């Protein structure tokens, strides 16, 4: 007897029973359908045949998992169906497996391609490359042109509107304000393209080492993890204790999202697919504070994040999945790349704002013909041929940043720094639908903004309150908070973090730089009764000190004399999370483009997630390899979503250690023991035991 043969009415299910059964099958046929068949010995059981049967375990999921029983009849039916569709011409072969796609690239994995050095592309010495922007994606493109494309450095031109490279990867000491970090970068070991790049960039800190070597050794010697993920009631440990606190219904909602096709999530928001069962959980507090997701953001991006980092579910509560650089991202990532490029003769042109790229359309071909720009305010242009390659960073999460200071809020007549990224993309997009729809991302800053601030301590008075929470000496030079500490009851949903000090190479060793951010900028604070966006640096420090547990009669004095704070309001910081549909983000190489590609967070590449360093570098690699014809595989996005071990492991971790087999399945409970008996003594049983799906105290 199989489940499909049981009359539904004989189960006499109530509505809740139906939900439980739906949940079971969501868990059992999750996302992908990979079947593992195993022959088992004869069983003297009423549920088993006397003949050898075949069992299928399908879809071991991220939210839970189970074993689905497939009888010999079902297997035979499937084989017969396959035989109907097969043809005599079919042959097994790997020929063509790595043929380039329509964009001129192919994806691969393993170290064969990773260690290979591609041949020099034909005619590369006679080509020029113009790269618009100098953020991580742009500099990565220049590095790939030099290393893999073997293009002469003098032929590569980086056009930057600002007077400094780095884009959103910043970190600077401003003599008029103090230390400024608009954000930080959380990285992990499976950023395949990022580490492929940085294995070739010389470290500025360790002679003879690469940036990857430096980073690898650092995180081996000083592994990252948090000792207090969240606080409540003015600095008291919220005791999240590594738990997600998801209900069965909440887990089912996540499972359903996980297996929903991308196209069914176009223009959908997270609140379209989740309700309070998820939003009231500790899981959601972890998730939205770490990744800066809001309820109205894209359900598709949420799903992609969940799939992309399924192997790190167990590291989400304490940040043990994360790795950080020694210094701020400008000094640790951007400067080494810039020095590498300058050593190869790459041409950097600062104070050069590109305003448009004009195209010529010939049949199906789209040819970039002119770059329009302003150099130190003077309009000029660059005439292009098909031999000239153009790479444009379209859109920017830090565009239009408003800078405040200790005594001024980032509003009114505060300084605004703009590079024209959004205007440039809009001008390009007007020329062809394949160039995307920037207005989907930059038209509603009420849904795309949040504010960060850099607080620098000036003496020892605040340090004990920090140490009381993070349980570490913030001036040790090693891991401090291990990631953000979220003030769970903060009306701003304030989070703060202290990375290895000094965060700046020339930082005063007695000072500590703290990065603070608030996800909700338009509501009154808990101590400062005004919205964060209207607060001066001093007032933001006061709100932070309140949630740190500083007695209220000491807050103003410490905020005035023991700290300096630089607030930065970023109108578009989560613009890439806005709900979208196919085509809103243009392909890295739009169809028909022969000498033009997009780079960065607003270009589209399959399966990867925006708001990561990996995404920037991946789009750069794809753009260079595709346009220049580099014959080397682009590393595919890490395949943990297809790894049954990771899915099993994450299913138990997401349910706070509870096995899916411990869930009350109502009428289906009768099938648990027969299934467990059927797999006894097989590799499937071992697999389930190894990942705590089958526990030692389970009797079967």
Residues with active-site annotation: 186, 305
CA atoms within 13 A on the CB side of 692: 14
CA distance 551 to 522: 26
Residues 6 or more apart in contact with residue 451 via CB below 8 angstroms? 410, 517, 518, 521, 532, 533, 567, 568, 569, 570
Query: Distances in Å between the alpha carbon of 692 and those of 66, 97, 697?
Result: 12, 37, 11
Q: Is 665 helix (H, G, I), strand (E, B) or coil?
A: coil
DSSP codes, 17-73: HHHHHHHHHHHHT-S-----EEE-----STTS-SS--EEE-----SS----B---HH
Rg (CA), the chain: 27
Tokens of 327: 């210094």
CB atoms within 10 A of CB 674: 15
Cβ–Cβ under 8 Å, residues 586 and 604 = yes
Sign of the Cα torsion 134, 135, 141, 142 reads: positive
Does residue 157 contact residue 349 with C-beta atoms inside 8 Å? yes
* Per-position DSSP letters for 96-158, written without gaps between them: TTT---TTS--EE-SHHHHT--PPPPTTGGG-EEEEE--BHHHHHHHHHHHHTS---GGGEEE
Determine the Cα–Cα distance for residues 120 and 127; give it in Å rounded to an integer. 13
Residues 108-114: contacts with CB within 8 Å, 24+ apart?
Answer: 108/633, 108/634, 108/635, 108/636, 109/635, 109/636, 109/639, 113/632, 113/633, 113/635, 114/196, 114/635
Give dist(CA 289, CA 487) in Å, integer: 10
Token pair listed for 51: 């003949």
**Residue 608 to residues 113, 125, 232, 335: CA-CA distances in angstroms?**
20, 32, 34, 25
Contact between 272 and 263 (Cβ < 8 Å): no
Pairing of strands 230-232, 236-237: antiparallel
Contacts of 491 by beta carbon, 8 Å cutoff, 6+ apart: 520, 523, 524, 525, 526
CB 243 within 8 A of CB 284: no
At 411 the three-state DSSP class reads coil
Residues in Cβ contact with 371 at an 8 Å cutoff, skipping those fewer than 6 apart: 130, 132, 159, 354, 356, 357, 358, 381, 382, 384, 390
Q: How far apart are CA 492 and CA 518, in angstroms?
A: 5
The closest alpha carbon to 391, from 207, 219, 626, belongs to: 626
Q: From start to end of 341-408, where are the E strands?
A: 347-349, 352-362, 365-375, 378-383, 388-393, 401-403
Helix (H, G, I), strand (E, B) or coil at 501: coil
Measured distance CA(440)–CA(584) in Å, rounded: 7
How far, in Å, CA of 267 to CA of 260, rounded?
A: 14
């Amino acid at each position: 007897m199989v489940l499909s043969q049981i009359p539904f009415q004989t189960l006499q299910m109530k509505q809740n029973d139906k939900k439980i059964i739906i949940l079971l099958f969501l868990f059992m046929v999750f996302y992908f359908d990979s079947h593992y068949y195993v022959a088992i010995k004869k069983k003297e059981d009423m549920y088993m045949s006397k003949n050898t049967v075949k069992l299928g375990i399908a879809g071991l999921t991220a939210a839970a998992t189970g074993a689905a029983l497939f009888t010999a009849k079902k297997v035979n039916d499937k084989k017969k169906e396959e035989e109907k569709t097969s043809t005599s011409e079919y042959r097994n072969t790997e020929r063509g497996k790595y043929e380039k796609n329509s964009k001129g690239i192919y994806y691969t994995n393993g170290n064969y391609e990773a260690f290979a050095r591609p041949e020099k592309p034909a005619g590369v010495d006679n080509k020029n490359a113009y790269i618009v922007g100098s953020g991580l994606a742009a500099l990565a493109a220049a590095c790939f042109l030099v290393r893999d494309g073997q293009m002469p450095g003098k032929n590569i031109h980086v056009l930057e509107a600002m007077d400094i490279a780095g884009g959103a990867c910043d970190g600077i000491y401003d003599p008029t304000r103090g230390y400024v970090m608009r954000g930080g970068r959380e990285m992990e070991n499976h950023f395949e393209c990022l580490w492929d790049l940085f294995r070739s960039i010389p470290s500025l800190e360790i002679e003879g080492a690469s940036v990857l070597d430096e980073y690898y050794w650092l995180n081996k010697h000083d592994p990252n993890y948090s000792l207090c993920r969240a606080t409540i009631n003015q600095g008291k440990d919220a005791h999240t204790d590594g738990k997600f606190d998801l209900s069965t219904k909440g887990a089912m909602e996540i499972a359903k999202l996980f297996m929903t096709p991308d196209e069914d999530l176009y223009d959908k928001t997270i609140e379209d697919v989740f309700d309070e069962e998820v939003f009231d959980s500790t899981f959601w507090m972890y998730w939205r504070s770490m990744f800066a997701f809001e309820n109205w953001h894209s359900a598709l991006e949420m799903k992609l994040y969940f799939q992309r980092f399924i192997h790190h579910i167990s590291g989400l509560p304490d940040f043990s999945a994360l790795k950080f650089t020694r210094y701020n991202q400008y000094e640790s990532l951007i400067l080494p790349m810039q020095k590498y490029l300058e050593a190869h003769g790459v041409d950097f042109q600062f104070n050069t704002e590109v305003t448009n790229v004009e195209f010529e359309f010939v049949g199906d071909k789209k040819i970039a013909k002119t770059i329009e720009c302003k150099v130190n305010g003077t309009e000029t242009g660059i005439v292009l041929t098909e031999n000239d390659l153009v790479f444009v960073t379209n859109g920017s999460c830090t565009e239009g940043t408003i800078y405040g200071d200790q005594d001024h809020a980032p509003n009114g007549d505060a300084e605004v720094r703009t590079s024209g990224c959004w205007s440039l993309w809009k001008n390009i997009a007007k020329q062809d639908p394949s160039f995307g729809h920037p207005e989907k991302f930059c038209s509603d800053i009420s849904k795309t903004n949040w504010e960060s601030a850099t607080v620098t301590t000036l003496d020892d008075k605040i340090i004990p309150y920090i140490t009381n929470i993070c349980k570490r000496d913030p001036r040790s030079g090693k891991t401090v908070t291990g990631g953000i500490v979220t003030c769970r009851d903060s009306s701003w949903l304030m989070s703060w973090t202290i990375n290895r000090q000094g965060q700046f190479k020339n930082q005063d060793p007695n000072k500590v730089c703290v990065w603070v951010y608030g996800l909700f900028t338009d509501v009154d604070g808990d101590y400062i009764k005004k919205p964060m966006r209207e607060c001066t640096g001093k007032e933001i420090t006061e709100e932070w000190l309140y949630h740190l547990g500083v007695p209220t009669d000491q807050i103003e004095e410490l905020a005035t004399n023991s700290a300096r704070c630089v607030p930065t309001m970023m109108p578009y910081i989560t613009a890439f999370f806005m709900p979208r549909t196919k085509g809103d983000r243009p392909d890295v190489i739009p169809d028909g483009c022969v000498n033009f590609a997009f780079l960065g967070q607003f270009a589209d590449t399959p399966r990867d997630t925006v708001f990561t360093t990996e995404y920037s570098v991946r789009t750069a690699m794809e753009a260079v390899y595709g346009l220049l014809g580099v014959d080397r595989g682009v590393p595919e996005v890490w395949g943990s979503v297809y790894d049954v071990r990771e899915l099993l492991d994450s299913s138990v971790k997401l349910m706070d250690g509870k096995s899916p087999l411990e869930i009350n399945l109502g009428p289906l409970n009768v099938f648990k023991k027969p299934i467990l008996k059927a797999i006894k003594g097989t590799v499937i049983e071992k697999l389930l035991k190894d990942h705590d799906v089958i526990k030692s105290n389970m009797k079967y």
